[in-house]
Amino acid sequence: MYKKEIQIAAAPEQVFAYVADLPRHSEWASHTLSLEPQSEGAVAVGSRFKSVGHQFGKDNQDEVTVHEYAPSKRFVFDSEDSSGVFRHTFELTPEGEGTRVVKSCEVLSAPMKTKLLTPILAVLVPTALSKDLQRIKSRLE
């Protein structure tokens, strides 16, 4: 699992509303990205999205499913494509006048071609997580 954290001068409710709004991930994601709802209603556990992103020199289409939805505390979604299933987690903790945000990415399953990239991912993913958090921070402060 890859994990990074940051302090953001915004209330947990505000941070959660922003990171749980999946179509807005394109505003801060490390790569070009678009997400469109595939299920009706408000975002909740089980909500599904279609994602198209450009990463590692190619376009990727993912199925995104919300796994956990705990307002102001925790938001978890899984993305699945031909390179595997990845779990993305945001954990929010009130801290002082703001929120401590921990963003992590975990590979739940992967084909051999993705497993062979593990040494490269160990460098790229933490860097991307840090940049994502910095962009979220700049949007909310």
pLDDT digits (tens, 9 = 90+) for 94-135: 999 999 999 999 988 777 777 777 777 777 788 889 999 999
The pLDDT of residue 124 is 77
Q: How far apart are CA 11 and CA 53, in angstroms?
A: 29
Count structural domains, the chain: 1
Could you read off the pLDDT of 4-63 as tens digits, one per residue? 999 999 999 999 999 999 989 889 987 778 888 998 888 999 999 998 876 666 677 889
Could you read off the pLDDT of 46-105 as tens digits, one per residue? 999 998 876 666 677 889 999 999 999 999 999 888 788 889 999 999 999 999 999 999
The pLDDT of residue 55 is 62
CA distances from 80 to 14, 33, 86, 109 (A): 28, 14, 6, 9
CA distances from 74 to 83, 107, 114, 125 (A): 25, 18, 27, 20
Domain span at residue 93 reads 2-140
The pLDDT of residue 127 is 86
CATH number at residue 112: 3.30.530.20
